[in-house]
Chain A
Amino acid sequence: MRTSIIECHQLSVDFDGVKVLDGLTFSVCEGDFLGLIGPNGGGKTTLLRVLLGLEKHSAGSVTVFGGLPGRSPGRIGYVPQRLFFDREFPISVRDLVLMGRLSKKNLFQRYNHLDRAKADEAICTTGLERLTERRIGDLSGGELQRALIARALAGEPELLLLDEPTASIDPQMKTTIYDLIEQLKERLTIVLVTHDISLINRYVTKVATLNVTLELSEPDPVSGRERLRAPVPQNSAFPNL
């Protein structure tokens, strides 16, 4: 029996009386890769925010690593939608990734060589070695997305929460992001929010459709693979797909 990491039972959230999530019951165990799909406004991001302790639930129960959400920041890596911060912010890729070590540090503590080593490791994993000194405003969409994943990895998480990691990225970049995530699933528990239904089927171990209520289903690797194959040309940069 694998350890359970996320447990939700009849979880509901409402904003000013409007139900955004209604009666969600599901669990995520160690090593799982849960793909959350569903329409815009279906509550996918809200669910992630509840799991992170950023949003309060109104009914039911939710535990993350056996405790209340938000109580184990050092064990969770979070990759937010990249639209929500200022790309003109004067920060280099290295400093952005280093921010992922925040959850391991106390107030006033400065980053040390261990933090820098972990940040460099995450930068290597995501293939950003040549861009470490680059200002984030000068990165392409896909590079910035990888930098955000590197930031989450730098904190050595056990659970990785990804919110639309491929939104507004061109199709070629999408596959590199998913290749990266596929590597990570060997050592991490992952919850991935996306509307790329066709792409996630071949990677995930569980799929859930979220539209205020939640419906679990088995992934369909065969059709997922075929749907993915079709648009990728033979001489693609990723021949092993």
Chain B
Amino acid sequence: MLQEIFALEFMRNALLAALLSSIACGIIGTYVVVKKIGFISGGIAHTAFGGIGLGYYLGVNPLLGVIPFSLAAALAIGMLSKKAKVAEDTAIGTLWAVGMAVGVICIGLKPGYAPDLFSYLFGNILTVPSSDLWMIMLLDLLIISVVWLLSKEFLAISFDEEYAAVSGLKTTALYLLMLCLIALTVVVMVRVVGIVMVIALLTIPAAIARMLSRSLLGMMIQSVVFSALFSVCGLWLSFLFDVASGATIILVAGFAFLLAQVWRLVSVFLRAR
């Protein structure tokens, strides 16, 4: 069975994509969860769809089109969430929908049928070309280096932004940089689970890891492991039952989240007795 899977090049690529994307996902997902910016991250992901549409319309690799677009979305949403006079969720919700709308219009303008539109929305890890694997790896390296260099600053703004500001940190700039890293992670995840479901894989592994860890680094390592576990399990199950891979990965993660919550409740109950 396993040999059969590995004999197929697309399965090898899929497995590599799942493992490589888990690195970015686990590290950045940790910040998303502890800083409670899930909704903001969802906004960045969905706004980025405009970039995919634009890339498709201009005839470049949509993954390349999505990088500048999602970075712009991250900066815009970050600025809005810090400075806007309108309510933050309204501002993000607006950008969220506008980004999607731009994507839909761009794809509609291009003559002919867009066969892989669906795969950007819901992921199709089985069609990852080798060139995308290199890009995912580069983005992983970039994310790891920035997080390593700025670990104490990111810890400070995640824990207590006001204290970070009092300590002389440029908190707004750091926050925007963090959102940009989230945007890049979204780019990495698009192939695996697609834009619509990115947010689940960004938050679920980290949320489970948080229950078990005493430090941010520990939480990151655990979320990477969980994320890889869910992706590989989902991939295997989708191969077994011949169903959509991205959706299966999300279902595996969701089920694990449910189990973790039940386990937490049971352990609280047992300790109380």
Same complex origin of A and B: yes
User: Which B residues, 127 to 184, have Cβ-Cβ distances below 8 Å to chain A?
Assistant: 149-153, 155-156, 158-160, 162-169
Report Cα–Cα, A74/B166, bound state, in Å.
9
Say whether, besides A80-B160, A99-B156, A108-B149, A90 and B166 are in contact (CB < 8 Å).
Answer: no
On chain B, the residues within 8 Å of A80 by CB distance are 160, 162-163
On chain B, the residues within 8 Å of A86 by CB distance are 34, 36, 159
Report Cα–Cα, A170/B41, bound state, in Å.
40
Q: Which single member of B34, B152, B219 contacts A110 (CB below 8 Å)? A: B152
**Interface residue A1 (Cβ < 8 Å from any Cβ of B):** no
On chain B, the residues within 8 Å of A105 by CB distance are 152
Q: How far is the CB of B33 from chain A (nearest CB, A)?
A: 10
- Are B166 and A111 touching (Cβ within 8 A)? no
- Are B214 and A102 touching (Cβ within 8 A)? no
- Are B215 and A91 touching (Cβ within 8 A)? yes
**Residue ID in chain B nearest A138 by CB atoms:** B214
- Are A84 and B153 touching (Cβ within 8 A)? no
Q: Which single member of B34, B156, B215 contacts A102 (CB below 8 Å)? A: B156
- Are A89 and B169 touching (Cβ within 8 A)? no
**Interface residue A54 (Cβ < 8 Å from any Cβ of B):** yes
Report Cα–Cα, A108/B148, bound state, in Å.
9
Report Cα–Cα, A113/B164, bound state, in Å.
21
- Are B214 and A90 touching (Cβ within 8 A)? yes
**Residue ID in chain A nearest B173 by CB atoms:** A107
Say whether, besides A90-B210, A92-B214, A95-B155, A78 and B150 are in contact (CB < 8 Å).
Answer: no
User: Which B residues, 210 to 251, have Cβ-Cβ distances below 8 Å to chain A?
Assistant: 210, 213-216, 218-219
- Are A90 and B168 touching (Cβ within 8 A)? no
Report Cα–Cα, A102/B213, bound state, in Å.
23
Report Cα–Cα, A89/B154, bound state, in Å.
13
- Are A89 and B214 touching (Cβ within 8 A)? no
Query: DSSP class of A's interface residues: helix, strand, loop or mixed?
Result: loop
- Are B167 and A85 touching (Cβ within 8 A)? no
On chain B, the residues within 8 Å of A89 by CB distance are 34, 158-159
- Are B216 and A54 touching (Cβ within 8 A)? no
Report Cα–Cα, A11/B103, bound state, in Å.
52
- Are B165 and A90 touching (Cβ within 8 A)? no
On chain A, the residues within 8 Å of B168 by CB distance are 70, 73-74, 102-103
- Are A85 and B160 touching (Cβ within 8 A)? yes
- Are A111 and B152 touching (Cβ within 8 A)? yes
User: Which A residues, 86 to 138, have Cβ-Cβ distances below 8 Å to chain B?
Assistant: 86, 88-92, 95-96, 99, 102-103, 105, 107-108, 110-111, 133, 135
Report Cα–Cα, A105/B153, bound state, in Å.
10
**Interface residue A212 (Cβ < 8 Å from any Cβ of B):** no
- Are A99 and B166 touching (Cβ within 8 A)? no
On chain B, the residues within 8 Å of A102 by CB distance are 152-153, 156, 164, 167-169
> What are 11 contact pairs spanning A and B, CB under 8 A?
A73-B168, A90-B34, A90-B215, A92-B215, A95-B155, A99-B159, A102-B152, A102-B169, A108-B149, A108-B150, A111-B152
Q: Name A's B-contacting residues (CB within 8 A).
A: 52-54, 70, 73-74, 76, 78, 80, 84-86, 88-92, 95-96, 99, 102-103, 105, 107-108, 110-111, 133, 135, 155
Q: Name B's A-contacting residues (CB within 8 A).
A: 34, 36, 149-153, 155-156, 158-160, 162-169, 210, 213-216, 218-219
